[in-house]
A and B are shown apart, each in its own frame.
Chain A
Amino acid sequence: MTYTKRLDKRKFDETRPIEAKVGVIKNADGSARFKIGNTVALAAVYGPRELYPRFMQNPEKGILRVNYNMMPFSGHGNRVRPGPNRRSKEIAMVTKNALLPVVDLSEFPNAVVDVFIELPQTDAGTRCAGICAAAMALADAGIIMKDLVSSVAVGCIDGTVVADLNYDEEAFEGIVADIPVAVLPNTGEVVLLQMDGEMSKDNMVKALELAKKVCADIYEIQKKALKEKYTVKGDKK
């Protein structure tokens, strides 16, 4: 059996519809919303700001803290219990590791930059949407960054490599592999890679190439959203 037609009739390399907007939370120093299909991620950046307790401070450079949270009503089934759990803690960590290679906080010893990612509704690909939103929010906050970060989940369903699995595809009865990937747009380097499921090595490499290609498109959307926030008012005049 091969997966010849996607459940929602997308092309194999096609993502769900994407919307991105920067500057969605007025209180924050930087913020963004990234929507892919029915998954919505909000990110807010606060800082650089004072960091307490003191023992967490790094006298050489500022630290980055990432928090990932699903709103209680954002899950597919039962209510998600509020507060951190093992899953959200791990996702926060891999998100931080994906963002750290581009962020330069050497000007801010002892300080912290906080990134808060919240998901009001989800349908697979939440960590990737969170990373896309967080990268835009960090740029919006004026953080020194050598690049943005773009992210998408790719996968392999019954031997076919596809981009941006939705929930139904993740739950598809067949051999499914899900691979969240994040890429630095300038170099194509991979900063997030996880996989669960079953697939061949050849397909894995194919999937990574696909992720790189899709991330290049996502990067353009992120870039456009950032520029829109700072130019939209100029066009009115």
Chain B
Amino acid sequence: MNAELRNHIIELLDKGTRLDGRSLLDYRKPVKVEYDASNSAEGSARITIGDTELIVGIKMEVSTPYPDTPDQGGLMVNTELLPLSNPEFESGPPSIEAIELSRVVDRGIRESKAIDMKKLCLIEGEKAWTVIIDICPINAAGNLFDASALGALAALKNAKFPKLGEGEVVDYSEKTDEALPLAKMPVSVTVCKIGSHFIIDPTTEEEKVIDARLTVATDEKNQLCALQKGGDYPLTIDDISKMLDIGVEKCNELRKAL
């Protein structure tokens, strides 16, 4: 379908450049994190990576813990691929793309143990905080994965518990000074393979022609905490090893934007 575009992109990559003149392993500019993007959320951030812009907001609710983890709070990540943000997005229930994005961001936070879930428990087996992260693209122009993971972490950093009234009923009109118990700083970098080349931060056009992608989430100690291979093209172990090296290095770069 996009054979001509793919060939052209590969020709450019062979010469060490891309459609927009970037190097293969460069993020677009600016990479920007702004906090307090929505004052009705308990925490929020606006992320800009080149032309891609999204808002991440956090709501905190009190609910009953799961029976298998009675002493822990909950985490939920949800993405709405708003039709406002891209002409190809349609209204309706979350698409598989939105679900995958949510789950990859969820794993990065959950598996790195970024939030101390036990500290979210109010009354064991009865009441605990649930942290709900909602990702809303404003202008979807490629690489929503990395922007979303960065935005989720930034919003978590920004979040303050709402006031708790009598009987553990939340009073949303007041925020406390208490921040979320954040133990780790997981961010992710998605490394894409086109032909024999590896690139990061693909634009919408590049996303249409990549063979495979690997989203690499790491914490600040360079430990891997979540991976997701995307695309229907196989990767060799050698490929994966190279992509992990790129991912780890670039995660550190991206973390500086926080």
Chain A residues numbered 20-76 whose CB sits less than 8 Å from any CB in chain B: 24-28, 38, 40, 42-44, 46, 49, 67, 69, 71-76
B211 CB → nearest A CB, Å? 25
B57 CB → nearest A CB, Å? 3
A63 CB → nearest B CB, Å? 15
- B residues in contact with A84, CB < 8 Å: 91
Contact (Cβ within 8 A) B44 A46: no
Give the CA-CA distance A26 to B204 in the complex, in Å: 13
Q: Beyond A26-B51, A78-B61, is A73–B82 a contact (Cβ under 8 Å)?
A: no
Closest to B91 in A: A67
A28 CB → nearest B CB, Å? 7
Contact (Cβ within 8 A) A72 B134: yes
Contact (Cβ within 8 A) A72 B40: no
Closest to A123 in B: B40
Q: Beyond A27-B140, A42-B84, is A83–B134 a contact (Cβ under 8 Å)?
A: no
Would you call B181 an interface residue if the criterion is a C-beta within 8 Å of the partner chain's C-beta atoms?
no
Give the CA-CA distance A27 to B140 in the complex, in Å: 8
Contact (Cβ within 8 A) A72 B57: yes
Would you call B226 an interface residue if the criterion is a C-beta within 8 Å of the partner chain's C-beta atoms?
no
Contact (Cβ within 8 A) A25 B57: no
- A residues in contact with B44, CB < 8 Å: 73
Q: Is the interface of A mostly helix, strand, loop or mixed?
A: loop
Chain B residues numbered 42-57 whose CB sits less than 8 Å from any CB in chain A: 42, 44, 51, 55, 57
Contact of B41 among A40, A73, A77 (CB under 8 A): A73
Give the CA-CA distance A84 to B86 in the complex, in Å: 19
Give the CA-CA distance A84 to B136 in the complex, in Å: 15
Give the CA-CA distance A87 to B51 in the complex, in Å: 32
Contact (Cβ within 8 A) B87 A49: yes
- A residues in contact with B39, CB < 8 Å: 38, 121
A93 CB → nearest B CB, Å? 15
B141 CB → nearest A CB, Å? 6
A53 CB → nearest B CB, Å? 12
Contact (Cβ within 8 A) A28 B38: no
Contact (Cβ within 8 A) A71 B55: yes
Contact of B87 among A27, A69, A72 (CB under 8 A): A27
Would you call B254 an interface residue if the criterion is a C-beta within 8 Å of the partner chain's C-beta atoms?
no
Closest to A40 in B: B38
- B residues in contact with A40, CB < 8 Å: 38
Give the CA-CA distance A26 to B50 in the complex, in Å: 11
Would you call A114 an interface residue if the criterion is a C-beta within 8 Å of the partner chain's C-beta atoms?
yes
Contact (Cβ within 8 A) A118 B82: yes
Closest to B87 in A: A46
Contact (Cβ within 8 A) B83 A116: yes
Would you call A82 an interface residue if the criterion is a C-beta within 8 Å of the partner chain's C-beta atoms?
yes
24 examples of A-B residue contacts, CB within 8 angstroms: A25-B84, A28-B84, A28-B87, A46-B83, A67-B91, A71-B38, A71-B55, A72-B57, A72-B80, A73-B44, A73-B57, A73-B59, A73-B134, A74-B38, A74-B41, A77-B172, A78-B61, A79-B59, A79-B132, A82-B78, A118-B138, A120-B37, A120-B38, A123-B40
Q: Which 4 A/B pairs are nearest by Cβ-Cβ distance?
A: A73-B57, A73-B41, A116-B84, A79-B59
Q: A26-B51, A123-B40 are in contact. List 19 more A-B contacts (CB 8 A).
A: A24-B138, A27-B141, A28-B87, A40-B38, A42-B138, A49-B87, A69-B82, A71-B57, A72-B57, A73-B40, A74-B38, A74-B40, A76-B172, A78-B59, A79-B61, A116-B82, A120-B37, A120-B38, A121-B38
Question: Which A residues contact B (CB, under 8 angstroms)?
Answer: 24-28, 38, 40, 42-44, 46, 49, 67, 69, 71-79, 82-84, 114, 116-118, 120-123
